[in-house]
């Protein structure tokens, strides 16, 4: 297998091993990577030698920082929307395959895991967080929305923490990930390579993982979980904002900081993300992925995604001009339109 490949998929002992191998791009997912992983999972599902899948990264900085947003932005600027949507269609189908995969799927996450990286790890059976683990779904900051199955996963996190993560894009480490259920185990960074090797050998998976697991220490959000639950558990965005205002006025520095954070994000994206979270609790995984494909099919023909990527990735001036510019100016009917069926273009998932 070429070591120059963006993703390496090979059988090692008892495991189908996936190595994310695009370190200069922080393992941002390309369409080629999505397709290669999908082919490998299909083959390993039928291979009796493969008892588990292990996904790891060559980068010390990142497991995967997301999809290749700059490339997708450039395609859209050229009006090549069908090519953009081919990426998301196949990525979402892959996310659904991982969610329903019949063999244990173990992600060794010791670095940044965002966006598309979350999609190829969070829905697997085992998520192992190293000391460098850093989770975020920061899409509202680039005029996008938390996708790759976030519609299903985030509303199911305890204490409205998933809604908080979706609307703020906040980053959390291994301790919070373990506390919230984003990770199933925490392992010291120094033990990750040895664990990866151990997972290729026969043996009970849970016993192997238990032998490497450790206490990741205190969780960053622990002190503010009650405020998060109270504010982000409110029934609508206006109530969330009112509760944050009241908490900030009552002396909560955390609430005041959250207010400042929300003020920088795309108002359309915040409204979209909240509506996703509201609907997501009642959707199964396939319905969640279809919902996300409906949303992205409209996003690619909008304004804020291109403006957000311009401001953060292209020009890096971090001064996006959102349209509309305030939450008050975002109409409920405009948000509703993102969720409308696509007819012949609906995302179709394997049963």
pLDDT digits (tens, 9 = 90+) for 273-329: 999 999 999 999 999 999 999 999 999 999 999 999 999 999 999 999 999 999 999
User: Does residue 345 contact residue 81 with C-beta atoms inside 8 Å?
Assistant: no
9 touches 17 (CB < 8 A): yes
| Domain 7-345, CATH class in plain words | alpha beta
pTM: 0.96
What's the pLDDT tens digit per position in 168-211? 999 999 999 999 999 999 999 999 999 999 999 999 999 999 99
Location of structure tokens 């060559």: 58
- Enzyme catalytic residues: 67, 116, 139, 147
Residue 249, pLDDT above cutoff 70: yes
Cα separation, 238 vs 243, in Å, equals 9
- State pLDDT tens for residues 16-61: 999 999 999 999 999 999 999 999 999 999 999 999 999 999 999 9
1 band by pLDDT with thresholds 50, 70 and 90: very low
Q: What SS3 class is residue 67? A: strand
Which DSSP string corresponds to 261-274?
Answer: HHHHS-HHHHHHHH
- Report helix, strand or coil for 101: coil
What confidence tens digit (pLDDT) does each residue in 256-270 have?
Answer: 999 999 999 999 999
In order, the DSSP letters of 133-189 are -EEE--GGGGT----TTHHHHGGGSGGGHHHHHHHH---B-HHHHHHHTS-SEE--G
CA distance 63 to 129: 10
Q: Provide the pLDDT confidence category of residue 350 given band limits of 50, 70 and 90.
A: confident
Given a cut of 50, whether residue 222 has pLDDT beyond it is yes
């Amino acid at each position: 297998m070429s070591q120059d490949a963006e993703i390496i998929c090979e059988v090692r002992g008892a495991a189908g091993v996936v190595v994310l191998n695009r370190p200069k791009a922080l393992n941002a997912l390309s369409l080629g990577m999505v397709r290669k992983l999908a082919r490998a999972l299909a083959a390993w599902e039928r291979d009796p030698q493969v008892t588990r899948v292990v996904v790891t990264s060559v980068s010390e900085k990142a497991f995967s920082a997301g999809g290749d947003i700059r490339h997708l932005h450039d395609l859209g600027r050229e009006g090549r929307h069908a090519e953009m949507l081919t990426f998301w269609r196949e990525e979402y189908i892959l996310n659904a395959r991982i969610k329903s995969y019949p063999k244990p799927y173990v992600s060794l996450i010791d670095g940044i895991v965002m966006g598309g990286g979350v999609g190829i790890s969070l829905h697997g059976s085992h998520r192992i967080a190293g000391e460098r683990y850093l989770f975020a779904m920061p899409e509202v900051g680039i005029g996008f929305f938390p996708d790759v199955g976030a519609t299903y996963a985030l509303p199911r996190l305890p204490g409205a923490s998933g809604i908080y993560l979706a609307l703020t894009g906040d980053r959390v480490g291994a301790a919070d990930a373990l506390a919230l259920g984003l990770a199933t185990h925490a392992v010291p960074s120094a033990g990750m390579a040895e664990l990866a090797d151990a997972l290729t050998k026969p043996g009970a998976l849970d016993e192997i993982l238990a032998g490497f697991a450790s206490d990741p220490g205190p969780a960053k959000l622990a002190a503010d979980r009650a405020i998060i639950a109270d504010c982000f558990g409110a029934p609508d965005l206006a109530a969330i904002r009112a509760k944050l205002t009241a908490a900030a006025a009552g002396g909560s520095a955390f609430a005041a900081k959250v207010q400042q954070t929300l003020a920088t994000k795309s108002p359309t994206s915040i409204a979209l993300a909240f509506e996703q979270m509201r609907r997501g609790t009642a959707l199964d995984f396939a319905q969640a992925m279809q919902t996300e494909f409906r949303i992205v099919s409209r996003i690619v023909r909008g304004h804020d995604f291109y403006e957000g990527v311009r401001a953060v990735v292209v020009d890096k001036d971090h001064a996006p001009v959102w349209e509309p510019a305030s939450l008050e100016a975002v109409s409920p009917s405009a948000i509703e339109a993102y969720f409308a069926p696509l007819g012949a273009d609906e995302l179709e998932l394997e049963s």
